[in-house]
Structure 1
Amino acid sequence: MGAPRTLIVLGGTTEGRAAAAALAGRPGVRVVSSLAGAVRAPSLPDGEVRVGGFGGAEGLAAYLCAERVAGVLDATHPFAAGMTANAAAACAAAGVPLVVLRRPGWTAGPGDRWHRVGSVAAAAAALPALLPGDGRVLLTTGRGGLARFAGVDAAFWIRSVDPPDPPLPARHTLLLDRGPFDLDAERALLDGVRPHVLVTKDSGGTATAPKLTAARERGVPVVLVDRPPLPGGVPAVCTVDDAVARLLE
Structure 2
Amino acid sequence: MPSHASPALSLDLNADLGEGWGDWSMGDDAAMLDVVTTANVACGGHAGDGGTMRAACRAAAARGVAITAHVAYPDLQGFGRRFVDIAPSDLTDQVVVQAGALQAMARAEGTAVRGVKPHGALYNTLAHHEAQAGAVVRALTELGDLPLVAAPGAVAVGVAEEAGLEVVLEGFADRAYLPDGTLTPRRVPGAVLTEASAVTAQALAIATEQRVRTADGEWIPLPVRSLCLHGDTPGAVSLARTVRAALEDAGVRLQAVL
- Under a length normalisation based on structure 2, what TM-score does the superposition of the two structures give? 0.31
More helix by share: 2
Task: Give 1 or 2 for the bigger CA radius of gyration.
Answer: 1
More strand by share: 1
- Under a length normalisation based on structure 1, what TM-score does the superposition of the two structures give? 0.31
